[in-house]
């Protein structure tokens, strides 16, 4: 955001100086819900997205860090690969998941486990100086 002082010279707003601009396509009804929330909170869309995404990213990072643990990976893999175990785990957790959501978990968890393993390998390479740029 550009601000002007009394001499009309342009100065940079320090609150937006390090912000990247991005374009995002989302469902119109979701945008309308976001706009209603922004209005209720007297919050700009950008601030809303940054606040909500920051919290979600923190959770995703914790989840992925958990999957870096070989024991957790093994347990998750056993749950995903064993028929019925995921359904039982969902019931124990009192998660009311639709059949499609359970199938989505089965399909997505192996990719997440592989991504967590790759992340751990990259972190190990950074720690011992053997990491290569662009490795994933």
pLDDT tens-place string over residues 38-71 = 999 999 999 999 999 988 888 888 878 887 788 8
pTM above 0.75, yes or no: no
Neighbours of 67 (CB within 10 A): 21
Q: What is the domain count for the chain?
A: 2
In a domain, 104, yes or no: yes
Pair (81, 118) in one structural domain: yes
Pair (123, 73) in one structural domain: yes
Q: What is the pLDDT of residue 63?
A: 79
In a domain, 105, yes or no: yes
In this predicted structure, the answer to whether residue 19 has a pLDDT above a threshold of 90 is no
Q: What is the DSSP string of 5-39?
A: -TT--EEE-TTTTTPPP------HHHHHHHHHHHH
In a domain, 10, yes or no: no
Q: What gap in Å lies between CA 60 and CA 48, rounded to an integer?
A: 18
- Which structural domain range is residue 95 located in? 68-128
Q: What is the pLDDT of residue 11?
A: 46
Residue that is last in its domain, among 39, 60, 81? 60
In a domain, 15, yes or no: no
């Amino acid at each position: 955001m550009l601000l002007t002082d009394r001499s009309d010279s342009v100065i940079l707003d320090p609150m937006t100086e390090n912000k990247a601009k991005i374009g995002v396509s989302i469902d119109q009804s979701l945008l309308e819900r976001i706009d209603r929330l922004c209005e209720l909170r007297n919050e700009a869309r950008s601030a809303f997205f940054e606040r909500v995404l920051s919290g979600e990213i923190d959770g995703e990072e914790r989840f992925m860090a958990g999957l870096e643990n070989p024991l957790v990976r093994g347990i998750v893999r056993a749950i995903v690969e064993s028929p019925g175990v995921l359904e039982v785990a969902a019931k124990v957790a009192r998660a009311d998941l639709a059949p499609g959501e359970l199938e989505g978990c089965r399909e997505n968890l192996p990719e997440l486990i592989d991504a967590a393993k790759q992340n751990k390998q990259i972190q190990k390479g950074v720690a011992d100086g053997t990491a290569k740029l662009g490795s994933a």
